[in-house]
Structure 1
Amino acid sequence: MKKLLLLSICLIFSLKIVSQERRSFFYASIYDEVGAVSNAHIINLNTKQGTFSNDAGEFRILAKPNDTLRLSFVGYETKKIVVKINHFGLHENTIQLTKVPIELNEVEIKEHNLLGYISTDTKHIKSEKEINAKTLKLPFAGSRILTPAERRLHTAMSSSAGIPIDPLLNWISGRIKKLKKLKAIEDKEKRIQLIHNNYHIFIKHELRILQQDISRFIYFSEEADDFKHSLLNNEVAMISFLKEKSEVFKKLNPKNYPEHK
């Protein structure tokens, strides 16, 4: 009987340790003396992952007991809180930020010969002209900087002369087709990196994908027939999509995930 009791205590203690190691979503709302604080920056100092509060001051972030969260926003004191196990209960977590006065730099008032009339004062005011690509009217000033693959493709499909001979020759030689493939590969790698940066902790701790399988799982999900680029801009839809793909991925890899045979 004593052995059974001791075994039960050890089992409960082990389960408690495991639950503390696994990160879950920490939900909370941020307020000040007036109301909700939106766009406050929250970062988990242990995982280096961050997020922002929405218009209602609400946010969620992956955390576990003893993780430290730092909350900051312009005009407020930066606040740090240590996550406790009771923060994951049913009660609502609310965090209050305190406003701080903003001190302005000292302004030095100098004598001037202005009279208070626009017609005469504008003649005495010297202004420094801003020099940049736009003011110099350089080609493509203000446009988005092209990636290496986009730049090569743009060059191959453009012609410095009036007659588009170069694009025609590049098309015949197959250069344009090759550059389009390179751009498609570059775009794919961007999507893969974006998914990894935003969801790798969720994939590991919530979907229970093994560390060595995370990259392979992300490629598997991105190459799925029902993957849409719009998912990258919708966190809720992306999480639902990854959950669905994790079940398929585990069934295809029964050696690593025997419970999904």
Structure 2
Amino acid sequence: MKPFWFLIVALVCFSATAQEEQTQTVQGIVQNDADDKVLENVNIVNLNQVIGTVSERDGSFEIPAKVNDTLYFSYLGFKSIRVRVTNDLLKFGEIKVKMTELGIALEEVVIRPVELTGYLEIDAKIIPVYDDYRYAIAGLDRGYEGGSQQPGAVGKVLSAIFNPADFLYNVFGKRPKQMRKLRQMKADDNIRNLLQSKFDRETLMAVLQLERNDLDMILNNCNYSDQFIRTANDLQILDAISECYEEYKVLNRE
């Protein structure tokens, strides 16, 4: 009889484990912690499954998740928070997520428009020129942004071209888990829409488990200029890193 009971216990344990690992739907409402008012268009990302969504007008949201997944909530002017998915959370039904507003004193920004005269010779001198060059080499299907015209820019580009596999391995070789999420992020429309409107790199850092200086280092080593790194939105940063990583994977296979 002992083998029989052992089999029953094993099947029960296996069933419980399977239920824990099964993807379910987390439902809830996002509120302002100060006054309990609902928050619309809060960005919610499952960091483990790389799935995104936004809260509705009534603050409600639904997102697929499994036990031990982490949900990342971000909203302009509020402190971003992470919520760990537990068995109790899934069984509880609708959850309430309360976000704390940030008190930020914004500095005055003066925008000076470019006033054109209508005379080409004069206006050509007024319009600002950005000296960020992307070097192209015959036979290659892409360019390399070396930054402003500096003595070391061309040398940096050439080192990436003549030793591409070794060069890019130093950038991506030690981050296989993080980089595998790049394709998932690009494939999710909700995440792409979120990143297109953001410039703080917060969501990128949360999903890829990287620090801000790690992102800057990757972009620098992939020959993107300081101007691009400073001004690009998060979606442009994602596409830039992804393009460089895809190049690394091709070269690494060869």
**TM-score for both structures, normalised by structure 1:** 0.41
Length-normalised TM-score, structure 2: 0.42
Structure with the bigger percentage of strand: 2
Q: Say which one has the larger Rg.
A: 1
Higher RCO structure (Cα 8 Å, ≥6 apart) = 2
